Structures are given as C-alpha cells and as structure tokens.
Structure 1
Amino acid sequence: MKIEILKQAVMDSRDGITISDNCIDDNPLIFVNPAFERMTGYSFEEITNINCRYLQRNDRKQPELKIVHNAVKKGEYCLVTLRNYRKDGTMFWNELSISPIHDENGAVTNFIGIQKDVTPRMIIQQQLRDEHQSLEKMKIHFEQLSIKDGLTGIYNRRFFDTQLEIQCKIACRNGDSLTLAIIDVDHFKSFNDIYGHQAGDEALIRVADSLNKSFQRGSDFAARYGGEEFVILSNGMAKDQAALYVKSLCQRVRDLRIPHSASSTGYLTISIGYSVHTFGPLHPSNVLLAQADKALYVAKERGRDQFFSL
C-alpha cells in the first residue's frame, strides 16, 4: 500500500522527477514522471536509457554542469540552476537537485533528480539586477553632474568652491602654500561672433582638456569657473615654480593653434591672474581668490596673452 501511495505521489508531482542508473556507464535515465515530460516536451520513450545532457544541447559551458559532474562522481547531493532546452528548442531555467541512493553495502546505485522550472523567478531576478545596475549608473551619472561641467567634462564651480575651502583649511593646518590661477580665454565674445557658438564650445573643450592635462600633483585640479573662465588650484608650489607653471599654461593653449582672427597672434590665447599664498590661521580662502582675480584684471589690461601675480 505504501509503495502505491509513493508511486502515485511521484506520478502526480508538479515537479519533474527522474531516476538515473549509476551502475551503467554514462548514468542514463531509467525513469521520468509525467511532469518531466510536460516540462521538457520529450516523451518517456525518447529520453530514457540515455544521459540527460541532451537538455543542455550545445550550451555546455555552464559552470554548474561541473558541479553536477563532481557530485555524481563523488556520490553526493547537489543543487544547481541550469539553462535547459525543451524539445521545441525553447530555453527554460531548471533548478535541479540530485540525491544519491545507496544499496545495503553503501554503494551508490541511482540518483533521484528533482526538476523545477524556475524561469519566472530567474527573469524577475534578472530584471531586478538590470534595474539595480541602471539605478547605480543613474546615481553615478547624477553624482558626476553635480561636480562636473556639462560641456567640458572637467570640474564645475560648485566643486571648486567646496575644494577651495577644504584645501585652504588643510593649508592653514599644515602651513602649506596654495596657488590659485584664474584663466580667461582672450576675446572669446569676438570668437563666438566670428566662428559661431558651436566652434566656441569646441574651443572651450580643447582649452579645458589642455589645462586638465597640465598637472604635476595628484591633488591639483582644474574647474570651469563660468563662461570662458577656468581656475586651477595647486598646493606646495613656490612662487618661482608657480610662475613657470602658469607660463607653460599660456604656451599650451597657444600650441593648440586654434585660429582667431581678432587676436593679435592670429590664434586663441589666454590671460592668467594667479596668487601664491602661504596660509596661517588668519588667512581666509577669499584672500587667495581676490588676489588672483585682481591679477587677472592686470594681465588683461596689459594686453592679454600673458600672466600676472600681485
């Protein structure tokens, strides 16, 4: 009676149930229940007396298959989720558990396999992973937007204002020097009038890229201050080093050789006002900014395409 109940339970189970013969080479299936036939589309006669690897077809490079192989080899239980394929070629996710059956001497004679079609669950999990990745990408994107200039890709005014305060506090604590350079693209309104705003945007991108590649220290950075103005903040430079550095910035932009008919050189140039300051406890950040701004005004009054420091 108990055997009949067990048999009925196996035949009526909604999960696919298989039995393989471990005493025969290649461990072929010797029994499948109706649920397994419905799940795979294969009939009992088509899929017994052969190994069930046909369910993976050519999709054999699944790491989980090695887990199953090792479990069978060692006569152990395992639980994996595999990509399987029905008779009509459609793929489904199969949660497979196999359990060994031992004889009275402890030898493994058979394996019972329980198969569950978990395709809906796997689709939902993949959708959740995709949504999570999309949210992470959006988060990174918006974080970048909050500190990066949308046109040039370098840091923006908001990031500069925050970093200036931080760097000034560090310099005050350590007694270090900070160099702040304010950079203005010469005759940029005329450039836009002559060549158009798209050319103007492209010129700003090239200038920003050149400035952004000029650093000698990992803590240095450039930011777009607004319009055609840029700023560079650097720590640890002496006044003579700063002078050589800003001079090289002017030359870097000249070397871009961006044509500008309204410029005395025939090419786009920049003017730089800079300040080098060694900080103490009574030196706020606006001192450094005010000095660099005044120096820029002098550089422009003197004819542009040059640098100046107070």
Structure 2
Amino acid sequence: MWTEDQPDSYHSDPALTAFFDLSPDLLCVRHHKGYFTHLNALWTEILGWSLEELRSRPWVDFVHPDDLIATLEIEEQCHHASSPIKHQNRYLSKNGGYRWLSWRLSPYQQGQSFGIAQDVTDNYWQNSELYRAGVQEALKLRDQAIAASSVGIVIANTRLPDMPLIYVNPAFEQITGYSAEEVLGLNCRFLQCDQTDQNELQRLREAIKAGKHCTVTLLNQRKDGTPFWNELTISPIYNSQQELTHFVGVQTDISDRINAEQALRLEKAKSERLLLNVLPRSIVQQLKQCQGTLAEQFPEVSILFADIVGFTTLAAQMQPLELISLLNQIFSAFDELADRHGVEKIKTIGDAYMVASGLPVARDDHAEAIAEMALDMITALQSFRTRQGIPLHIRIGINTGTVVAGVIGTRKFIYDLWGDAVNVASRMESSGLPSKIQVTAATYKRLQGQYHLEERGLIAVKGKGKMTTYWLTGRKTAK
C-alpha cells in the first residue's frame, strides 16, 4: 500500500526501465522523500527482494543497522553537494544475509538523486584484514589438522620425474617407521614388498596414468621390514589450466581389520569342514538358504547296515579307551571306503555303521556302489584282523527301495533316513551271519548281472514275515 508520504511518481517509465536493465551495475533513482522510484532487475538478482518490495518501503529499511548512521550522513551530503559522492555500505538480502555495495551517488536535483552501485562483497572480504586473517587462520588450522590426523597423508608432485613425495605428515612416519627426511624426494614405491597384490598395483598405476581417484589395498612393509596392510586412496589435484600437478595420498593401516577378516575366514572354513563332516555338501548349501525341516523323498536308493560281531564280549576284555581306539580305526577305514565309492555315510550307532547310495544326489548305479562298499568292508576287516590279531567279524545287510532323507529339528543336525526300506536293511544285518553280506530280493535284481549271489532261502524277518534273501559273495568280473 502506498501512503500519502510517498512520492507520486513511482510508476516506472518503460523506456527508463529498459535502459536500466541493460546495465551490469545496480541502478536506481531515489526520491528526496526516501523511496526508490526506479530500479533495474539486477537488484532482485543480487538481494532477492522483488522490485515492488524495494519500492514499497523507505530504502533505509534495507540498509544494515550497523551502517545506518554513516549512510544517513552520506545522504545529508547528497542534499548539499555539487559533485558525485562515493561510499560503501551493506544492504540486507531477503535470505537474512547482506551484500557489500560500492556506491556512486549524484547530488539531489529537483528532488531526485541517481545511484550506481556494484556488489563488491567478494572483493571486500578478500581485501579486508579480517578476511586475510581468516585465511591465515584457516591455513593454520588445516596444517594442524593434517599434522594431527591419525591417517598417513602424503603429497606427490606429478610435474617432476618419478613423481617424488614433497610432503608426509607425522602419522605417515608413525605408520611406516620412515622419517620425512628419509622419504621426501622419493617415489613411494619403497613401501612395496614381494607379496604386494600385482592386480591392485596395476589398478593404482592405471589411475595415476589417467589422473583419477582410486582406492587400493596393498600389503606394504615398514622400515624395519615388518608387513602391514595399507588402504591407500589417491586423489588428483589440477591447476586452473586443468593440468595435473599433484596427487594426495591418504594411507590407513588396516592390518587389524585384515587379520580379523582372515581369522574369521579361517574359522568359517573350519566350521564349514566340521559341518561337512556331519552333513552332505548339498544339504549344507540348502540349510544355508532355508530354515525348518529339510526332507526329500528318493524313489530308489540302496542302504547298508554293518555291525561288529561279538562286540559286547570284546568290550569286556579291553579297557574302554583301547576299545574306542580300535573302533575308531575300523570306522576310519570304512570312511575312506565310503569316500572312494561315492556313497554317503549316514551315522554310527555304537558298533553299527550305516551308509546309503543314491542320495542326496541320485545315481543309477547306487546298488553296484553299495555292493562294492560291502565287499571292500569285508576285505578291510579281514586285513585288520590279520594285522591286529583280534578275532573281528562283521555282519552286513543291504536293501534297495524308497526312503525319505533329510534334516529335522533345530539343534545337533544329522542327515538321516526314514522308511520301510531302511527298516528292512537293518533286519538284513541283524539276521545275517558273521563275515556275510545279506541282501534282499530288490537288491538282488539289480546286482545279479555283475555279482555272484547265492540264494539263502526264506527267512523270518521281524515285522515283515517270510522273505527270500541272498548272500552277496563276490564280483563276476575282477575290478
């Protein structure tokens, strides 16, 4: 709203406005009653106020309060002077800040004064004692921060041959054991050792050649020859002509982190090996990806149970630790056979040993693989009996059929089998004879073409009634 105190010639002259807007400086016409009558658009660009806002209030409202008295004194001179007046003051910007303006003002004539102002804020600060003191203080603080940094900081000159170091901070000296006097003028390759990763070094060289930022992890060595892991970040510095002049390198000793990661990997690998000693590899991978029950039906597998004959009597004749040592030697030999034939050891229960073929990865020759395992177990125990002089015999039972296999529960995992085929295989072992391999008719059908089998006849099998079984006695063709 205009008031009666405001001059009545505030409506802009279009021609004057067009002329004003051509100027690279701030232009204005001031009325002796204290208002702007004409302004160019640069005022809005510099101060943020709209032209309407600038004309609607006395112009002294936009002067910084600290400069108001000096500005009013200059204004008084404009009413009596005969030549232009120069001065500087601060004008408030709409965002809450202010800008330094350098003025050239004409004396008032017919109630009007013309003004030309330049925004000299940047020049004012750069030429002021306060600015120079601030720069010096900032540089001092920068140097103190670099010197106090816990990471190594180096500067290399790219314009000199071999890109020598021209600065290292105290942290670099502490990390590497080298003093500044020993390394200034040298290329930092003196930190490299024979075990440095060549791929990482190549990445570093390519970044330097291209003048780009890069972070690499290098195994370096200190002055005393001890190794340390160095995470090095290099950043290029270009001059105003976009010429590469220096590289700044920031070095961090991350040995503790790398060693912890390596220890973690070793523990993880150890845990993985322990887990693979309990569960098949494919089951371990599945357990990592899911939770809860993990079970799968296999339509055709072969299962073997083996039991040491007279183990109870043997246990009464030996010390417990001697007995366990003997059992460990026997089962370790069986484990090697299981690996050799590619069958899956399921578990041991006391002096009983259980393996299966055709799971967790299906195979067409599951019956043949389990037959080879059984025959080699008989041979291995005979050899063991000869070496040890202990009367050892085993019974072996084999059956072929459908099972469900998997892992259940949430603790102390075990890969186990369930189904009638498993129960029958167990019965084949318990109803067998020492040093004999008893198989069911289902297994017989799959082995009769390649192995010698003798019909035992009908026997009573607990829970199954009468069953015809066979003795596996050998291979038809030698391996």
TM bin, normalised by shorter chain, reads: 0.5 to 0.7
How far did 1:271 drift? 1.6
Q: Does 1:308 align with 2:443?
A: no
> Secondary structure, in 3 states, of the residue corresponding to 2:438?
strand
Q: Does 1:299 align with 2:432?
A: yes
Q: Provide, for residues 191-226 of structure 1, a one-character-per-residue CA deviation record: whole Å limited to 9, x for no partner.
A: 3444544453344334434544268975x4344442
2:331 match? 208
Q: 1:137 is aligned with what amino acid?
A: K
Give 1:37-56 correspondences, 5 Å limit. 44-54=180-190, 56=191
Change (3 A) 1:6 1:96: farther
1:271 match? 395
**TM-score of the aligned structures, taking structure 1 as reference length:** 0.62
Q: Say which is worse superposed, 85-94 or 62-71, in terms of deviation.
A: 85-94
Q: Which structure features the higher share of helix residues?
A: 1
Question: Among 167, 170, 174, which residue is 2:298 paired with?
Answer: 170
Q: CA RMSD in A?
A: 4.5
How far did 1:289 drift? 4.1
For the 8 Å contact 2:234–2:248, the answer to whether it is kept is: yes
Q: Provide, for residues 33-87 of structure 1, a one-character-per-residue CA deviation record: whole Å limited to 9, x for no partner.
A: 5665666665554433333334x16567344444333333333333335556666
Change (3 A) 1:72 1:3: farther
For the 8 Å contact 1:185–1:269, the answer to whether it is kept is: yes
* Larger CA Rg, structure 1 vs 2: 2
Question: Among 290, 306, 312, which residue is 1:183 paired with?
Answer: 306
How far did 1:238 drift? 10
> Secondary structure, in 3 states, of the residue corresponding to 2:160?
coil
**TM-score of the aligned structures, taking structure 2 as reference length:** 0.44
> Secondary structure, in 3 states, of the residue corresponding to 1:24?
coil
Q: For 1:49 and 1:180, locate their aligned partners in 2 and report how far apart those are by CA, in whole Å.
A: 75
Q: For 2:365 and 2:232, locate their aligned partners in 1 and report how far apart those are by CA, in whole Å.
A: 66
Q: Say which is worse superposed, 24-33 or 201-210, in terms of deviation.
A: 201-210
Q: For 2:370 and 2:178, locate their aligned partners in 1 and report how far apart those are by CA, in whole Å.
A: 82
Q: For 2:183 and 2:279, locate their aligned partners in 1 and report how far apart those are by CA, in whole Å.
A: 62
Q: For 2:340 and 2:175, locate their aligned partners in 1 and report how far apart those are by CA, in whole Å.
A: 65
Change (3 A) 1:93 1:113: farther
Q: Does 1:22 align with 2:131?
A: no
Greater relative contact order (CA < 8 Å, ≥ 6 in sequence): 1
Change (3 A) 1:39 1:11: farther
> Secondary structure, in 3 states, of the residue corresponding to 1:73?
helix
Q: For 2:340 and 2:243, locate their aligned partners in 1 and report how far apart those are by CA, in whole Å.
A: 71
Q: Provide, for residues 155-187 of structure 1, a one-character-per-residue CA deviation record: whole Å limited to 9, x for no partner.
A: xxxxxxxxxx967x422xxxx4x4433322122
Alignment size in residue pairs:
270
**Structure 1 gaps, min length 5:** 149-164
Give 1:1-310 correspondences, 5 Å limit. 1=132, 4-5=136-137, 7-12=139-144, 13=146, 14-15=148-149, 17-32=153-168, 44-54=180-190, 56=191, 58=193, 61-63=196-198, 64-82=200-218, 95-103=231-239, 105-108=241-244, 110-116=245-251, 118-119=252-253, 122-124=255-257, 126-127=259-260, 130-131=263-264, 133-134=266-267, 137-138=270-271, 141=274, 143=275, 169-171=297-299, 176=300, 178-194=301-317, 196-212=319-335, 213=337, 218=342, 220-234=343-357, 248-249=375-376, 251-259=378-386, 263=391, 268-277=392-401, 287-300=420-433, 304-309=434-439, 310=467
How far did 1:231 drift? 2.7
Q: 2:143 is aligned with what amino acid?
A: M
Question: Percent sequence identity over matched residues?
Answer: 23
1:159 match? none
